[in-house]
Structures are given as C-alpha cells and as structure tokens.
C-alpha cells in the first residue's frame, strides 16, 4: 500500500516536471552574441531545474481534523512533502503538499490517515488563497485534486507504526471525489498553509470533511 502511494506521487511529479522542462527548454533567442560563452548541457539542465523545480521536504507542526465518515482530530509534528514545479511562461504549474507517511490517530491507534492536494495552474510563488474544483484546468483535462486516506488496521497489527499489506488492514477508504470545492491557503515560501475540504467523497458515496493546518518548524 505504501509502495503504491509513493509510486503514484513519483509518477505525478515526474510527469509534470518532464512536461515543464520541455516547455522551459523550448524557447530561445535567435542571433545571439557570437562571443558569448556557450553553456554546457549540465549548466543548461541545472538552470532549467532551478527555474521549475523548487520541491523540498520539511518538518511541520500540523493540526488535522476529519468529520463525517472519517472522524478524527490530530495534533503533532510530521514530515510534509512539498512538490513545487513551475515558473513564468511554463504551461504546467503544480503545487502539491501532503504527509510523507500515514499518521496514527493518537486516541485510536488502529486508525491511520493521510492527506494531500495537487493545485494545478494557479499558484505563482506568492501567498494567496486558491480553490480546488472538479473543473479541468487545461486543454488536456487535468484537474486539481485533494484527497484523504482513512484506514483501520486489524487489531493484531494496531501496534505497528506502519503497515504495508492489504491483509493487515480492516478497511481503507479513499476520499477523493469533490462534492464541494476545497480551499487552499498558502503562506510565504510555502512554509505554512491550510487545506479545507467540506465534502470529499469515496467512489461508494461516503462523505468526509477535512481541515489541515501546517507550519514549518525552523531549523
């Protein structure tokens, strides 16, 4: 299960980054100065990467609440994976954040949760408030997303910090269908933010609310 999550995140980030690298490297000015030094392939790639890939991972203080079909409250520190790929004049623009691994609900260790969002073609490296809707954001039909994983491990496995096999899990629910828009507030340098989703549904129609607030821990 954990491998599936990591694989999905890697495919999304890699695909978006590859598309943006192609866009970033496709421009240029004809008739440049013949005496100007020519950049090596390594220098060109480094410049492109610095422009489009500003991803990082950091520890953060997090408050998370779930309602409806996924009721929980959690306060603590977690590792937030921040994916930021994009920049001026690049068609695909992605800001994504979420937990690196599922977190155990403090007062009910059998339950675990994980959250994330993908904000496409909206963020421009400035603090602001954005909406995630079910509407496509480009001609290819890509959409911004928000989701909550809510799971319960079987009693014999509830003392484990992490489970990796479906036979260790009593149930796993994926709330990823937007019944109402989500709101994302992003602070300076993506170091803080709030994700608010009032109605995320599973494919089977169960509905949960989710609010997550995070703030990077200095150092």
Environment class of 206 (CB within 10 Å of its CB; exposed 0-12, middle 13-18, buried 19+): middle
Predicted pLDDT of residue 92: 73
Predicted pLDDT of residue 100: 83
Alpha-carbon span 33 to 194, nearest angstrom = 48
- Give 94's strand partners: 85, 120
Predicted pLDDT of residue 214: 98
Distances in whole angstroms, Cα of residue 114 to Cα of each of 34, 50, 155? 54, 29, 20
Other Cβ atoms closer than 10 A to 41: 7
Other Cβ atoms closer than 10 A to 1: 16
pTM: 0.76
Per-run averaged pLDDT (10 residues), the chain, 219 residues: 40 35 30 37 46 90 98 96 84 89 92 96 94 89 94 84 84 96 97 98 97 96
């Amino acid at each position: 299960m954990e491998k599936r999550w990591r694989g999905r995140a890697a495919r999304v980030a890699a695909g978006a980054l590859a598309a943006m690298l192609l866009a970033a490297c496709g421009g240029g000015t004809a008739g440049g100065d013949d005496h100007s030094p020519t950049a090596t392939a390594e220098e060109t790639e480094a410049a492109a990467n610095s422009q489009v890939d500003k991803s990082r991972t950091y520890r953060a203080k997090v408050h998370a609440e779930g309602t409806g079909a996924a009721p929980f409250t959690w306060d603590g520190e977690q590792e937030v994976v921040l994916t930021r790929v994009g920049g001026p004049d690049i068609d695909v623009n992605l800001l994504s954040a979420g937990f690196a691994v599922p977190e155990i609900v403090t007062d009910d260790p059998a339950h675990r949760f994980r959250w994330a969002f993908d904000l496409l073609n909206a963020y421009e490296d400035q603090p602001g408030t954005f909406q995630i809707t079910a509407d496509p954001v480009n001609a290819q039909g890509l959409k911004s997303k928000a989701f909550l994983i809510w799971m319960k491990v079987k009693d014999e496995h509830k003392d484990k910090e992490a489970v990796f096999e479906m036979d260790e899990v009593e149930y796993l629910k994926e709330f990823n269908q937007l019944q109402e828009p989500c709101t994302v507030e992003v602070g300076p340098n993506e170091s803080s933010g709030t994700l608010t989703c009032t109605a995320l549904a599973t494919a089977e129609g169960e509905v949960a609310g989710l609010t997550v607030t995070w703030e990077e821990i200095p150092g």
